[in-house]
A and B are shown apart, each in its own frame.
Chain A
Amino acid sequence: MPQPVISVASLRKSYGDVEAVRGIDLEVAEGEIFAFLGPNGAGKTTTVEILEGYRGRNGGEVTVLGADPARVDRVWRERIGIVLQEGKMHPELTVRESLELFAGYYRHPRGVTDTIDLTGLTEKADDRVGRLSGGQQRRLDVALALIGDPELLFLDEPTTGFDPSARRRAWEMVASLRDLGKTVFLTTHYMEEAQKLADRVAIIAHGRIVAQGSPGELGGRASAGVRISFQLPAGVAGTELPERLAAAVGNGEVSLQAEDPVPVLHELTAWALDRRIPLAGLEVRRPSLEDVYLELTADEREGVQE
């Protein structure tokens, strides 16, 4: 078994009385795109900043590229690339100059022009950074993180605030990193982003990992139940419904989850046919990965609203 690129066991971190990370375990293998998914304030950035060596921890074991990020040297820094959640570059320098500046920090950098092309900034190469759009600045962030030709790349919420087409272009770029053989650790609060890009996903809520696996596995977990819903017909009391449906009435709507939907649907449609009631808004659907995510992180989001 090759060594994992990142391995974390029982990681804990508190700020004063607030426990931001409460015992996290995870492993990221070489060449993998790993998505760390969770709502704002769930502990994502704290965790990724511990892995990047920016923050200390209160407990647990962390190994990144064979070293503890709390005690790293220049050689280790040459092997990782970091795209921070926020961070400007000198607005006075051009794209090319910014990359030349950073290339000088590494012993074996990638080519500047090559990196500009890879990140789709060819036409902007000689423009000042201050004149780039938000999406272009984000691509420059990725270019600066790639210039040292790192083995491991951290991307902290790379598409937050993007419009849908900019997001799609950013996804294509991240997917192309896979072809370069990079290991990518990605944090995001977009389910769709994790689903699109990642080989494996961990969902964090309240400083704990609540689900972990491939998007397929998490999807499998999601398909365990099927949701059946329809509007309660006007003039029909909930009590007139077949027994197991009567219990699911609420707000003029009937909605229930069924492990095996076939008998429930049979009973429902027989009842409706009998009385010639059209079932307005009838829906039968398997929950998406998005639903699983929303369900797993529901407490957290309510907590934020309080």
Chain B
Amino acid sequence: MSGFALVLHEFRFDQKTFWRNPASVFFTVMLPVIFLLIFATIFGNDHIDELGGVKTTTYYVPAIITLAVVSATMQSLAISLTVDRENGLLKRARGTPLPSRVFIAGRIGNSIIVSVLMLIVLSALGWALYGVEIPWDRLPAVLVTLAVGAAAFSCLGIALTAAIPSEDAAAPVTNVAVLPLYFLSGVFIPESEIPSGVLHVADVFPIRHFFEAFFAAWDPSTVGAGFEWGHLAVVGIWGLAGLAIAVRTFRWTPRAGH
């Protein structure tokens, strides 16, 4: 098989594995949907005056899409690659003629497809249940944001595996890395409620910038095509740093043993 055909081959089986695993389906697909329903139900039809009177539901759709993409890429890859490393699956793959970049490309492809799916599901739910307009005229900006974010957070997820010593530590470590940032970055709590000092801290990390880029597309007061190049640049730089760390530190053999 040629390189691309082999990536598709690998991707096809990664999809089967993903959809047949109840934990990955629940945490990656169901949980963001549940979050959207909960936040939209609690805050109903409030408006956020500090953000030009935007509807709360309009705020939460891009916020939960941000969470869903980070979950489908960074968290999902960090956990599944660590589990596969510790139980010897990566080592076995390494002993076959499959090039390692094809293996990794299949996994990232899987994360990106799930991210696209979540974007569609969450935007459609927001529109159908809460009347949140889908920003059709800013679709290019939405897709570019998704592409940059999914690539960057995939690299960060692969880099994070180096910090996870065992299978059992995979979920706690990834949650420690992202959960506080969801709160600090305005994903769970509208940023109007967060002190500006805290937002400055969150500004160092990529999740807030990724969210800002999505929010601009959904915000009715945004003028123009909605491309947030400044925010995307920060996300991209984090992604490149993740890539550099991943290339240097990624290991194919279990940490236990030599």
Residues in chain A within 8 A of chain B (CB atoms): 15, 46, 52-55, 74-75, 77-78, 80, 82, 84, 86-90, 92-93, 97, 100-102, 104-106, 128, 144, 148
Residues of B within 8 Å of A97, CB to CB, are: 13, 16
Measured in the bound complex, the distance between the Cα atoms of B166 and A247 in whole Å is 57
Chain A residues with CB under 8 A of B253: 54
CB <8 Å contact, A84 and B21:
no
Q: Which are the 5 A-B pairs with shortest beta-carbon distances?
A: A87-B88, A92-B20, A77-B97, A82-B95, A88-B87
* Residues 75-106 of B contacting A (Cβ, < 8 Å): 87-89, 91-92, 94-99
9 cross-chain CB contacts under 8 A = A15-B258, A54-B94, A86-B87, A87-B87, A87-B89, A89-B89, A92-B21, A105-B96, A144-B92
Which residues of chain A come closer than 8 Å to B88, judged between CB atoms?
Answer: 84, 86-88
> Could you say which interface size class chain B belongs to?
20 to 34
B139 in the interface, Cβ–Cβ < 8 Å?
no
Asked if B95 contacts A77 (CB within 8 A), the reply is yes
Separation of A104 and B20 alpha carbons in the complex (Å): 21
8 more contacts with CB within 8 A, not counting A88-B87, A101-B13, are A53-B95, A54-B91, A77-B97, A82-B95, A88-B88, A92-B16, A105-B96, A148-B97
Q: Is B45 an interface residue (CB 8 A)?
A: no
Min C-beta distance of B254 to chain A, whole Å = 8
Q: Which residues of B contact A82 (CB under 8 A)?
A: 92, 95
**Residues of B close to A102: CB separation below 8 A:** 96
In whole Å, how far is A140's beta carbon from the nearest beta carbon of chain B? 11
Which chain A residues lie closer than 8 Å to B91 at the CB level?
54, 84, 87
How many angstroms from the CA of A106 to the CA of B1 in the assembled complex?
8
Q: Is the CB of B96 within 8 A of A93?
A: no
* Inter-chain contacts of A92 with B (CB < 8 A): 16-17, 20-21
A93 in contact with B95 (CB, 8 Å) = no
B162 within 8 A of A: no
Nearest residue in B to A94 (C-beta to C-beta)? B16
Q: Is the CB of A88 within 8 A of B95?
A: no
The answer to whether A106 and B97 have CB atoms under 8 Å apart is: yes
Q: In the complex, which residue of chain A has the Cβ closest to the Cβ of B8?
A: A104
User: Is B144 interfacial (CB 8 A cutoff)?
Assistant: no
Question: Is there an interface contact between A87 and B92, defined as CB atoms closer than 8 Å?
Answer: yes
Interface flag for B200 (CB, 8 Å): no
* Alpha-carbon gap, A42 to B220, bound state (A): 70
Most chain A C-beta atoms within 10 Å of own C-beta, residue among B20, B21, B87, B92 = B92
